[in-house]
Every structure is written in C-alpha cells, then in structure tokens.
C-alpha cells in the first residue's frame, strides 16, 4: 500500500516518501496529483523563481508577491503535513552583485515569513 494511503495517525514502522516539484501556482492540483501517486509530501518552492524585487516597476507590482496560491487553497492541515517549503534556488546572500544580494535578502525574508504563516516544515 502506498504511504499516502495509510490510515490517519498510523505511523508504525512507516517511512515517508516525498517528491520535489517545480513552482506551480495550482498547489491543490499539484498536491492531489502527487498524493494520489503515493507520495506523502511535496518539496516545493512557494514563490515564482523568476520574481526579483528589483525588477518591479511599480509599487503595486512590488507589493503583490508571486506566491504559490493563497493560504486558503489548502487546509491548514494540508499545508503543515503535506508541503515542505523550498527556498528559491537563485538566492545568493554572499553575492558580490549588490542588487542580487539585496534581492536575495528580501526574498529570503518574504519566503520565511510566508512559510511560517502557513505553518510549514
């Protein structure tokens, strides 16, 4: 029996198996597809990897963050038990490029706050 089909609360002699996914704005569909395939959780970026604060041309563009959906698209239990957040791979806090370093600091902070809000692992 796939791990994703265990009875609720049954953790006896179990192993967990997750799948790493690319960014996807449709988190419910992504989660449903992978849980149905027998995975227990997703390792997924929560923010569009093309987003850079320095590229925002207007204040409204900078204030609306490109997250993977709303916190309401999944139940709190689904967020906390089936989604593991992945920090954007482009982040480089030690970059010699000042713009990249500042974008990295900003986005890392935003991602941590969002993951915390969702009660993610």
- Residue boundaries of the structural domains of the chain: 17-50+66-117
109 pLDDT higher than 80: yes
Q: With bands split at pLDDT 50, 70 and 90, how would you rate the model's confidence at 21?
A: very high
CA angle, 83 as apex, 49 and 105 as ends, to 5°?
40
Three-class SS of residue 42? strand
Q: When comparing pLDDT for 14 and 25, which is higher?
A: 25
Q: With bands split at pLDDT 50, 70 and 90, how would you rate the model's confidence at 42?
A: very high
As a whole number, the mean pLDDT across the chain is 81
pLDDT of residue 67: 63
Place of tokens 């709303």: 70
Q: With bands split at pLDDT 50, 70 and 90, how would you rate the model's confidence at 119?
A: confident
The per-residue pLDDT for range 45-71, each reduced to its tens digit, is 888 888 888 876 665 555 556 665 677
d(CA 26, CA 73): 9
- Residues in the chain, how many? 121
pLDDT of residue 1: 44
Neighbours of 60 (CB within 10 A): 8
Q: Which residues contact 76 (CB under 8 A, 6 or more apart)?
A: 118, 119
pLDDT of residue 24: 85
């Amino acid at each position: 029996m796939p791990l994703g089909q265990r009875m609720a609360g049954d953790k006896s002699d179990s192993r967990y198996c997750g799948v790493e996914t690319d960014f996807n704005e449709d988190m419910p569909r992504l989660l449903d597809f992978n849980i149905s395939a027998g995975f227990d959780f997703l390792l997924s970026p929560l923010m569009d990897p093309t987003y850079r604060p320095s590229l925002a041309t207007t204040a409204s563009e900078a204030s609306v963050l490109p997250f993977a959906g709303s916190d309401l698209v999944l139940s709190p239990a689904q967020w906390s038990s089936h989604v593991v957040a992945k920090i954007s791979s482009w982040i480089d806090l030690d970059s010699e490029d000042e713009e990249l370093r500042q974008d990295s600091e900003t986005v890392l902070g935003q991602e941590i706050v969002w993951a915390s809000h969702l009660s993610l692992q």
